[in-house]
Amino acid sequence: MSDEPACPVPLPPPAGEVVMGHGGGGRLSHRLLEEVLLPAFDHPALHARDDQAVVDVGGQALAFSTDAFVVSPLFFPGGDVGELAVNGTVNDLACAGARPLYLSAAFVLEEGLPLADLARVVASMRRAAQAAGVAVVTGDTKVVQRGKGDGLYVTTSGVGLLPPGARRLTAAACREGDRVLVSGTLGDHGVAVLAARERLGLGDELRSDTAPLFELAQALLAAAPATRCLRDPTRGGLAAALVELGQRAGLAAELEEARLPVSGPARGALELLGLDPLFVANEGKLCAVVPPGEVDAALAAWRAHPLGRHAADVGRFVAGRPGGLTVRTAIGGRRTVELPLTDPLPRIC
Amino acid sequence: MSDEPACPVPLPPPAGEVVMGHGGGGRLSHRLLEEVLLPAFDHPALHARDDQAVVDVGGQALAFSTDAFVVSPLFFPGGDVGELAVNGTVNDLACAGARPLYLSAAFVLEEGLPLADLARVVASMRRAAQAAGVAVVTGDTKVVQRGKGDGLYVTTSGVGLLPPGARRLTAAACREGDRVLVSGTLGDHGVAVLAARERLGLGDELRSDTAPLFELAQALLAAAPATRCLRDPTRGGLAAALVELGQRAGLAAELEEARLPVSGPARGALELLGLDPLFVANEGKLCAVVPPGEVDAALAAWRAHPLGRHAADVGRFVAGRPGGLTVRTAIGGRRTVELPLTDPLPRIC
């Protein structure tokens, strides 16, 4: 990336301590990335700010991604940490247009975790890997003392191959006028985990949407070959994904509130909790940025797939403050959305 | 692997809880792998029991490895968790004969960690990556509450390429009569971390040996092209590496105690602590299994490199109980070595 400094000036050591918000999808999280992590590692693949790197390996374009999973509780309606860990990394690879191939799994176990829980998590990882057509081929297991962990953390990394000559799907490719599509209802994962953790008794209809999204990504790319960029809007929700894309592309995003798909059970729970579905994590949804001429084909392709039945065109990118986000309300008003400093829902993935 | 069941019989859920020993390099750790993890993931690359997978990606042989690092303290004489995390994954790739190319880094931070400590760790990772000729290209950061972590855990994964047509270096390739070589002194890392953690005041000469081993691996493979297998004997030390190789190869290992290189400071500290250098972790040493005819060339190649000056031929593989390990003592006796059930040194990597 020619617009990035080749060698950043060394920074003074940052003051302060890590707070929960550094791990959310909000502004503190972005600041940590920009002030501590990116200057240190300084690689074009990182500056691209996509959810995976695409690197050359012997003349082939390899997608490579990693995610640490610290979700609490480990088991929740609709899934568990193991399924989440496999799908999360598979989806980051799929968002590059890659076919996910191989995963690694590294566990940090807390002394005292029931071995039956570990077995249940790995069985779930196995099923998720089979469903996604990938294999877990390497791993590591470490154990920490009681009070130095929380049952089980797992980090999955994955590699996948892009088809020869495939166009790069990247934030910087978004253009003014491009439409923003989502493949289904928003907020299901975050609200299901929160309800399970806090034992909110909101009924058993709230379920995580965790799912592998490779087929949905491929269906879209076949139907809408000029697609600019794909994201799975996890931590920080759709809002965080659009702000990040906009910052990188130098554009603002504008959403139509009435078009945002939210399931009935999630809507009720979100209202009760005072949470905006825009900020709540999804684990089985794609957000695509496509040129206007390909919107109909894209939506038709998604809606033909069981995971894309509620796909919708929810807004667009416009000229404006890079990373700005406004929402046009159903009654014709407009509100500016700022990412929260911290995360309203810690440890949901 | 034709000798592995294609689809294991489902196991009853294991009883009991995770204990510290499940994370060591001892027998409990092996049992966890064999009873819980391998049956679930069941892939030839895992059953090969090497420290990395070698998989086909578009017709090329890609090495892929992952390691979680939970070392305590984060900073210790001779290194820190960041340097360790980069070198550890680089070395697992190098042991396949691959050139390490790209790394990922996933952090689990505990609320309250000084940001300056994080910055120090990532700066150290950057330096280590530059020294090893790799780039950190993708990452993730999660935060957990106080009392749910221990400052910082980091998982690195890495990919590397094997040269076209390269022979597979794998445990199953070891043969009766093959010699066991080590590239230098044993036990330096484990004893340095233990001394720092327990504030043993054993003097400032104890230093971790953490180092990138790609050059040493390549020098060996050029000089001794029939090399069967390479390991970096980390957790569990040389003993754990040889037991694992022997189990897989159907052979026993026999070491000559007088030939095992141990540095002066480490020897003093190990004796004081009652620890056997065979069981103590190294983070900058290779163990190679080579046919007898290539021993001299292999040792000469290693000794010509600054990291291999103390390379030695320390024993051999013989017919016998698979995974058995005996040590011939300086005075002509023999002792049978059993891996400890648990790890004498928890959380040293």
Residue ranges per structural domain of chain A: 51-161, 171-336
The tokens for B104 are 């990922």
For position B5, what pLDDT does the model report? 41
Of B13, B106, B126, the CB nearest to A116: B13
The CATH fold assigned to A51-161 is 60s Ribosomal Protein L30; Chain: A; (3.30.1330)
Flag if A136 and B41 touch (Cβ within 8 Å): yes
For position B82, what pLDDT does the model report? 98
Residue B3 has what DSSP assignment?
T
The tokens for A26 are 């909000």
Residues of chain A in contact with residue B41, where contact means CB-CB under 8 angstroms, are 105, 122, 125-126, 129, 135-137, 139
The residue whose two tokens read 């503190």 is: A28
pTM, two decimals, is 0.95
pLDDT in tens, chain A (349 residues): 334 444 445 556 678 999 999 998 888 998 999 899 998 998 888 888 888 999 999 999 999 999 999 999 999 999 999 999 999 999 999 999 999 999 999 999 999 999 999 999 999 999 999 999 999 999 999 999 999 999 999 999 999 999 999 989 999 999 999 999 999 999 999 999 999 998 888 777 899 999 999 999 999 999 999 999 999 999 999 999 999 999 999 999 999 999 999 999 999 999 998 999 999 999 999 999 999 999 999 999 999 999 999 999 999 999 999 999 999 998 889 999 998 887 778 899 9
Residue in chain A closest to B65 (alpha carbons) equals A138
The amino acid occupying position A4 is E
Window 21-60 of B: residues touching A by CB (8 A cutoff) are 21-24, 29, 32-33, 36-37, 40-43, 45-46, 52-53, 55, 57-58, 60
For position B11, what pLDDT does the model report? 55
Chain mean pLDDT for chain B: 93
Residue to substitute from A11, A72, A115, A145, interface B, most B β-carbons within 10 A: A115
Rounded to whole angstroms, the Cα distance separating B202 from B137 reads 39
Distance from CA of A11 to the nearest CA of B (A): 9
Residue in chain B closest to A22 (alpha carbons) equals B143
Question: Three-class SS of residue A241?
Answer: helix
| Confidence at B121, pLDDT banded by 50, 70, 90 | very high
Least confident of A233-242, B7-16, B36-45: B7-16
For position B12, what pLDDT does the model report? 64
Give the dihedral of Cα atoms B90, B180, B165, B38; nearest 10 deg.
-60
CA of A241: how far to CAs of A175, A282, B45, B113, in Å?
A: 16, 11, 36, 27
For position A48, what pLDDT does the model report? 84
Characterize the bridge pairing of strands B135-144 and B99-110: parallel
Distance from CA of B277 to the nearest CA of A (A): 21
Domain B52-161 bears CATH identifier 3.30.1330.10: yes
Of A66, A102, A116, the CB nearest to B140: A66
Residue to substitute from A31, A35, A41, A150, interface B, most B β-carbons within 10 A: A41
Flag if B43 and A137 touch (Cβ within 8 Å): yes
For position A7, what pLDDT does the model report? 45
Query: In this model, does residue B87 exceed pLDDT 50?
Result: yes
Residues of chain A in contact with residue B33, where contact means CB-CB under 8 angstroms, are 141
Residue B158 CB coordination number (10 Å): 32
For position A330, what pLDDT does the model report? 85
CA B187 to chain centre: 12
Contact between B185 and B261 (Cβ < 8 Å): yes
Rounded to whole angstroms, the Cα distance separating B223 from A88 reads 43
Contact between A276 and A236 (Cβ < 8 Å): no
Q: Which phi and psi (to 5°) does residue B94 adopt?
A: -60, -35
Of A16, A45, A102, the CB nearest to B115: A16
The number of C-alpha atoms within 13 Å of A104 and in the hemisphere containing its C-beta is 34
Containing B120, the helix (H) or strand (E) segment is helix B115-132
Residue A340 has what DSSP assignment?
-
CA A120 to chain centre: 24
For position B303, what pLDDT does the model report? 98
Contact between A104 and A66 (Cβ < 8 Å): no
Least confident of A161-175, B11-25, B215-229, B283-297: B11-25
Flag if B18 and A150 touch (Cβ within 8 Å): no
Note whether A183 contacts B: Cβ–Cβ < 8 A: no
Of A122, A138, A140, the CB nearest to B36: A122
Q: Which phi and psi (to 5°) does residue B143 adopt?
A: -125, 135
The number of C-alpha atoms within 13 Å of B16 and in the hemisphere containing its C-beta is 11
Per-residue pLDDT tens over the stretch B179-233: 999 999 999 999 999 999 988 887 778 999 999 999 999 999 999 999 999 999 9
Distance from CA of B54 to the nearest CA of A (A): 9
Flag if A159 and B159 touch (Cβ within 8 Å): yes
For position B6, what pLDDT does the model report? 43
Query: In this model, does residue B4 exceed pLDDT 60?
Result: no
Q: Which residues contact B271 (CB under 8 A, 6 or more apart)?
A: none
Residue in chain A closest to B68 (alpha carbons) equals A106
Q: Which CATH class is domain A171-336?
A: alpha beta
For position A248, what pLDDT does the model report? 94
Flag if A150 and B153 touch (Cβ within 8 Å): no
